[in-house]
Amino acid sequence: MEDTSYQPLVSSASNASLDFKTRPAPETLVSLAHRSWNSPNVSRSPSPSSRDDRSSRDENDSRSTSSLSSTSPTKANGAEDSVESRNESQPARPDLNRSPSLMGKARRPLSMFMRSSVSDSSVPSATLKKAYVGSTDSVGSLGERPTLKKVKDELWEAYRLLENDFQRFQSKSTAQKANIIWQSLIPFLRKFESKSTPHIAPDELDRRVRVLHRWWTGLMAQLRIRNSQAIAGADRPAYLEGISGIFSRPEWRSATSTFAPVNQRLPASAKSRSSSSLASTSSAYSLQKSVQHNIKVLFTRTLYDTLGFTVEKMGLRTSPPSMVAFGGKVLAYAFYFCPGVADMLISLWEIQPATVRRVLPEFGVGRGTDLRQVSEAIVSDFPETLQSLGFTTLLATLRGMKQPAKPPIGIQVDWRGAWTSRWNGRDSDLLYVFLRYYHILMYDYLPPDVSPLARFTAPGYVMVQAHMLSLLDNTIHRQPTLTGADSLASTTFEDMLANATVTLPMAARNPARTMAENKMVVLLRDVMSDKVNFSEECRIMYITSFMAMIKGAVRKTRVYDADACFTLCDLMEEILPLFSQAEQLYNTTFVDWPFWMDVLKQMPESENNMTELRLISFVYTAWDLIVEDEERKRTICLDWLLSEAVWEKYFCHWCPMVRAYFMRLACWRLGRYDGSPNPLDLDILKTLLRRLRTAHAHYLRLKDKAEANRTPLPSTAPCLPQPCRRLLIIRSDVLTTPQGVLLDGVIPTAAPISSPESLPRSNSSMSLTSISTATSDAQTILSSDIVDTTRSAGSPKRESSPTQQQSARQQKKTTFKFALDWVDRPPFGNRERRLGPARIPSAGQKYVDAECNVPLSVDLSGYTGNASHWTYVGRALAEWVVVVMEYENFFERRKNEGKEADKDIETPSLVVDSARKL
């Protein structure tokens, strides 16, 4: 490698050289350090500077040195006398035979690019430390002398041991090198992950960086070996974690660097003192800039090399999870710190201008809003490699998208290779790991208490949000893939005879991937659970932007797209518990409930049965989250579900499956009373009972009309949800979380969920996705788990002993669900039922009767509504009786099994996947 490191000069004036020549050596450094700051004869050497400036300065210094050391007759006699008098007054020292000035010595490079041994310092450490401390820690007027404080590197002993371990690493075989990484490098990185001595001397920082760089390049060289000495697959995660921990060390982004985070940079007062000290005898400012420049160049070059290796590995057909997680982190760091990489990575997303326009309204930014002044204050704190990507206006952003991105010069990266499919987020965690570290690094450069509008102008933030919006669009509007059974059914027997060599089509790899395994949901869950890398403000920032992008994706969804509405309910069912948990933790609001209530009310307009079933199931499952607020509970219960229009439509719906789902929602959610008096609950129960009495009055009206006209009476035989299938309550097991990389590091980890209490959901309902992922073979329905809906409600209770009750409480929580079960014959028979006044479950009925008096009959003499809605009211009332008996029998059975109060009894979950498959 060509040595292009900058070698700063040790500045001295003519009188300084004279002091070195005539004074004893021990007093030389002291005289330099104690010289007045406002000395007019001192020059400094700025760094970095052009070569022309350095060459001219070298010539001037050499001329001044030669003039001082020679006995030219042109020199003034007074100067000669003064020099001779000083020499005579001081005793002779044996070390005066040295070169008369520091300029006579060969300068040694101050960069980590030097090829000398590690023990050799770039400059004398004592001189460097004193010069550095005197320029930054000195206070007072320009006439005061700087205080000399020697700053000790607290971590140098650990770095010295790490350097020795690297020598051992180089001498070991490939199989033994992994042991050294596990025993030395990784423990060091984990122990000192967040510990770094701020504002250390430049030479100490230089030594640290050289040790880290040797490990970095040594590990990269080992990973690139492809012969028989290549590392084993089991040892690769150790190498990747070591490299990942090295380039994320704070030494690469120390306080005086432009890469430094905002909270670690020097305050404005320190910067002003450093600027005023440029006229002093110390060259610390120049030296510090030179070291930081060399560190930045070294960091960028090595990161470029690591990026090329990552792109090469991501282009392979298969890649282990550890390599994918490592690659995402490398891409994020290269995005921030490598010039030209951010432009290329954004261009590979191929974001459409229409998507960018959809992002702006979700953050309260209009299309004609000019944010130049806000952007200048935010973008200036980011690395200079990203400042061109700051958002100012929509027109400027769209104009920049039309310009083709230019690849960085001098690096070997296949920007258009096969790895771009992973980068776009297709069946890989690469993009989502990048998004994770992008937000972590972005928060490092945002000022504290930044407003959402100012955060919107951060470099690349608009493009990242636009791509997240496109990912959510693809999630909601995904095309259903053919399962194995469907693909086999498309091949007929005639096709097999026509071509004897035909092969059976292969089934999809993941035909039943649930929403819990969606990468965006996994990323959201990981951000909320990671309290080490994500601060509270950073988590709030990501959660807010994620919800904004979901709202943007919903606005594009059509009501008549049944598959999109179904998927949207799946997505909201997964993320609503996470948002509710975040609201309780941070005492803020993330969910725009008026917006989502409007979405729920618009979905039934499609008149699609699957959309209606999924909507009812979603409200049933997310009930505890929706009704946390009293006003929201009143709105959803009284103003929507129990409104006359919605009640008439779904209670007497023409589809028996929709009626069955809606009745269980009304019975288990609206009509459940756990013994806690509440005025709102009383209003809901009274309204529910009034709607049932109104339905019974309509049945009597239709019956009287049929008898008067001598037409068939309205049927009162209950229907099954589907032919030869009925809904039963069965036990369900809690499954573990999806396996895979949890985006928390290079080495994947997955913690199984051992109990339902660990889920961020209500204790009265179970996750839909955890149930829907279970296969039919694993659902063993035991006779003891099935609730007999035909059993009489007045069966005697069995007394349970205190020992049995105590053991029941110690058992883990049992969960139940509604499932469609095959029956040979209808359990109710096809006979007509004799209907009486409808009622709600017994606990709620007793509460209403004790508080108020609801009339048994309703006068319909002035009814002018749509009579066609009540065609199936007789069947609906008969089915309601079955649902109430099912509810009361389940409560009675659970109390016999040890439950003491109604509030302790579980609520079965109501899913739609089983019905969708049929």
Structural domain boundaries in the chain: 154-264+286-338, 351-400+425-480+523-556, 557-640, 645-735+813-917
Which of 339, 435, 352 has its CA nearest to residue 389? 339
For residue 824, name the pLDDT band (cuts at 50, 70, 90): confident
Mean pLDDT computed over 862-880: 84
Mean pLDDT of the chain: 76
Arithmetic mean of pLDDT, 633-660: 95
Mean pLDDT of 609-631: 95
pLDDT band of 179, cuts 50, 70, 90: very high
Give the pLDDT band of residue 279 (cuts 50, 70, 90): very low
Model pLDDT, residue 493: 40
* Segment (H or E) for 726: strand 725-732
Q: What is the pLDDT of residues 346-391, one digit of tens each?
A: 999 999 999 999 999 999 999 899 999 999 999 999 999 999 999 9
> According to the model, what pLDDT value does residue 287 have?
82
What average pLDDT does this structure show over 643-664?
95
Confidence check: pLDDT of 21 > 70? no
Dig out the tokens for 611 from the structure: 């959309």
Per-residue pLDDT at 915: 53
Q: What is the predicted pLDDT for the residue at 301? A: 96
Q: Is 817 helix (H, G, I), strand (E, B) or coil?
A: strand
Q: Give the pLDDT score at 50.
A: 42
| pLDDT over 90 (residue 680) | yes
Which has more pLDDT, 694 or 807? Answer: 694
**Count of CB atoms situated within 10 Å of the CB of 214:** 19
pTM of the predicted model, to two decimals? 0.74
C-alpha distances (whole Å) from 158 to each of 165, 167, 185, 284, 590 are 11, 15, 10, 26, 45
Choose between 747 and 691: higher pLDDT. 691
Amino acid letter, 614: R
Local confidence band at 266 (pLDDT 50, 70, 90 cut-offs): low
Q: Give the 3-state secondary structure of residue 112.
A: coil
CA-closest candidate to residue 281, choices 30, 106, 23: 30
Tokens 């008439």, residue located:
648
Q: What are the pLDDT digits (tens) for 835-856?
A: 888 999 999 999 999 988 877 7
The CB-side HSE value for 781 (13 A sphere, CA atoms) comes to 14
> Which residues 6+ apart lie within 8 Å of 797 measured at CB?
892, 895, 896
Instruction: Name residues whose C-beta falls within 8 Å of residue 687's C-beta, 6 or more positions apart in sequence.
Output: 637, 638, 642
* Both structure tokens of 465: 């949000």
DSSP letter at 604 equals G
Q: Read off the pLDDT of residues 87-136 as tens digits, 9 standing for 90 and up.
A: 444 444 444 343 444 344 444 444 433 433 333 333 334 333 444 443 33
Q: Which pLDDT does position 55 carry in this prediction? A: 43
Q: Write the CA distances from 86 to 16, 70, 72, 442, 554, integer angstroms.
A: 15, 17, 19, 61, 88
Residue 805 pLDDT = 47
Per-residue pLDDT band at 398 (split at 50, 70, 90): very high
Check residue 308 and give its pLDDT.
Answer: 95
How far apart are alpha carbons 859 and 697 in whole angstroms? Answer: 8
CA angle centred on 14, ends 12 and 20, rounded to 5°: 70
**pLDDT tens-place string over residues 196-232:** 767 788 888 999 999 999 999 999 999 998 876 778 8
Q: What are the tens digits of pLDDT across the range 551-573?
A: 999 999 999 999 999 999 999 99
For 32-87, how does the pLDDT look when each residue is reduced to its tens digit (9 = 90+)?
333 333 333 333 344 444 444 444 444 444 444 333 333 333 333 443 444 344 44
Top pLDDT among 803 and 31 is at: 803
Q: Are 664 and 883 in contact (CB under 8 A)?
A: yes
Q: For residue 916, name the pLDDT band (cuts at 50, 70, 90).
A: low
Of 5-9, 294-298, 609-613, 720-724, least confident by mean pLDDT is 5-9
Report the 10 Å Cβ neighbour count for 475. 21
Q: Which of 665, 666, 685 is nearest to 675 (CA)?
A: 685
Distance CA(107)–CA(135), nearest Å, equals 22
398-415 per-residue burial string, b: 16 or more CB within 10 A, e: under 16: eebbeeebeebeebebeb
Q: Check pLDDT > 80 for residue 812.
A: no
pLDDT for res 40: 38
Is the pLDDT confidence value at 903 over 70?
yes
**pLDDT above 70 as % of the chain:** 67
Does residue 696 carry a pLDDT above 70?
yes
911 pLDDT more than 80: yes
